[in-house]
Amino acid sequence: MDSFWGYLAPLIIIIGITILHLLLPARWLKGYINRPGSEEKSIYRLNGLLVLAFSVAIWFSLCNYGNLSYNWLYLHRWEGLAGAFFTGLIFTALVVFRYKPVRKNLLADIFLGRAENIKLLNGRVDAKMWLYMVGAVMLELNVLSFAAHHNMTFGPEASAGVLTATLLITWFVTEYMFFERVHLYTYDIFAERVGFKLGWGCLVFYPFFYTIPLWSTVHLPDPGLSSFYYILPVIIFFTGWGLARGANMQKYHFKRDPNKRFLWIKPESITDGKNTLLANGFWGKSRHINYLGEILMASGIVLATGYPDIIWPWLYPLYYILLLFTREWDDDRRCAAKYGELWSEYKKRVKYRIIPFVY
């Protein structure tokens, strides 16, 4: 019977998160892209941080006062993954087949999606922002449950590595929610459609695959490393965070007000009279230093587990390398088409794609 609930858990959690999203207070914010067929900016209703806080609080209450054990999601992780897998497929079918084909190839339509920006309930729910929020909250619940399993198994002998990796992933999720509005300015919002990649990606891949550093190590005992060992992964993680968040925020401020400083950085830009590109600060070191930041963060989390010799956790940064290096090529094509000569000038000025002085 417990297994049955394990399969259903993702669906129940998704419904719970959606109810919280609808009921909790939210901010209405202007986005980056225009409303379809209009010159006005698209409007979004966002409350991800509050939804995350309430979801975690409800989860703790259920464990503390109810019948749930803190490691329930860990114990039923395979059923949860299967349930989420199936839910993700149904979501994809619903979100793709409701809309008219945009490509000749049906499989490409299913994978990449048809509709660009789907809004429901008078704009109260934006499909993309809802997907990211649901994925992030499910990831955090999984992570907390996985860490609880480790503590329940090893008690006072629990590893500082699991604690460190859990805190780093929690930081990753929480700061994403804190800066949720900044993600209205990202590639997924302006360049992607809602299909299997985004839908299944956020409902299944994000909440389960991103746990892989913990999934593959929480059943193991403390590796017995000195406390000094954990300083390095934390430094790597926060260096990556500084690069990714710094680049995102610099661009976000620049798009909203091209003259506004970000931290100590006064924006320098290049222009062809029609378009303008940032050419200093984070955007002067490489053309996508934020992607390097993400890869460093993922590597920091893997090292933090205390088991750098186990191969499975490394799939997480490896996935980022595959995702972000290919995305950079794609974005380069997109920007070359959009900005023309100005993009070539930017590429002459900022030579490196992702890793300064290397690539």
* Options 5, 99, 190, 209; binder of ligand NDP; rule CB under 6 A: 190
184 part of the interface to ligand NDP, by CB under 6 A: no
Shortest spacing between CB 153 and ligand NDP, in angstroms: 29
How many residues does this entry show for the chain?
359
170 part of the interface to ligand NDP, by CB under 6 A: no
353 part of the interface to ligand NDP, by CB under 6 A: no
* Options 248, 286, 299, 305; binder of ligand NDP; rule CB under 6 A: 248
Sequence-distant (6+) residues with CB within 8 A of 320 are 291, 294, 295, 298
332 part of the interface to ligand NDP, by CB under 6 A: no
Question: With respect to ligand NDP, which residue has the nearer C-beta, 118 or 278?
Answer: 278
**Phi then psi for 50, rounded to 5 degrees?**
-65, -40
Question: With respect to ligand NDP, which residue has the nearer C-beta, 35 or 334?
Answer: 334
Distance CA 246, CA 3 (A): 43
* Options 187, 272, 330, 340; binder of ligand NDP; rule CB under 6 A: 187
- Give the closest residue to 322 by CA, choosing from 233, 214, 205: 205
Give residues 261-300 in contact with ligand NDP (rule: CB under 6 A).
Answer: 277-278, 283, 288, 290-291, 294
35 part of the interface to ligand NDP, by CB under 6 A: no
Distance CA 133, CA 141 (A): 12
Alpha helices for the chain (secondary structure H):
2-23, 48-65, 72-75, 77-97, 106-112, 127-154, 160-178, 187-191, 196-200, 212-215, 231-256, 282-285, 289-304, 315-339, 341-349
Which pairing describes strands 27-34 and 41-46: parallel, antiparallel, or unpaired?
A: antiparallel
String of contacts with ligand NDP for each residue 73-112, x by CB under 6 A: ----------------------------------------
Distance CA 88, CA 95 (A): 10
Contact 119, 35 (CB under 8 A): no
Shortest spacing between CB 324 and ligand NDP, in angstroms: 6
Sequence-distant (6+) residues with CB within 8 A of 134 are 14, 17, 18, 202, 203
Distance CA 150, CA 155 (A): 8
Q: Which residue stretch of 9-17, 19-27, 161-169, 331-339 sits at the interface with ligand NDP (rule: CB under 6 A)?
A: 331-339
Question: With respect to ligand NDP, which residue has the nearer C-beta, 174 or 186?
Answer: 186
140 part of the interface to ligand NDP, by CB under 6 A: no
Q: How many residues at the interface with ligand NDP, by CB under 6 A?
A: 19
- Give the closest residue to 217 by CA, choosing from 139, 158, 141, 298: 158
Shortest spacing between CB 251 and ligand NDP, in angstroms: 5
331 part of the interface to ligand NDP, by CB under 6 A: yes
222 part of the interface to ligand NDP, by CB under 6 A: no
Judge residue 81's burial from the number of C-beta atoms within 10 Å of its C-beta, 0-12 exposed, 13-18 middle, 19 or more buried: buried
Question: With respect to ligand NDP, which residue has the nearer C-beta, 168 or 278?
Answer: 278
* Options 147, 244, 301, 304; binder of ligand NDP; rule CB under 6 A: 244
* Amino acid at residue number 298: A
Question: With respect to ligand NDP, which residue has the nearer C-beta, 58 or 182?
Answer: 182
Distance CA 102, CA 110 (A): 10
Q: Which residue stretch of 100-108, 119-127, 222-230, 328-336 sits at the interface with ligand NDP (rule: CB under 6 A)?
A: 328-336
Query: Which residue ranges make up the site for ligand NDP (CB under 6 A)?
Result: 186-187, 190, 244, 248, 251, 277-278, 283, 288, 290-291, 294, 327, 331, 334-335, 338, 346
